[in-house]
Amino acid sequence: MECIFCKIVKGEIPSKKVLENENFLAFHDINPIAPIHILIIPKEHFENFSDTPKETFAKMSDFIKAVAKELDISDYRLITNNGKNAGQEVFHLHIHMIANPGEKLKWPKLV
3-state secondary structure 49-92: HHHCCHHHHHHHHHHHHHHHHHHCCCCCEEECCCCHHHCCCCCC
Active site residue 37: no
Q: Which of 37, 92, 94, 96 is catalytic?
A: 94
How much of the chain is in helix, strand and coil states, percent to nearest 5? Answer: 30, 20, 50
Give me the active site residues, please.
Answer: 94
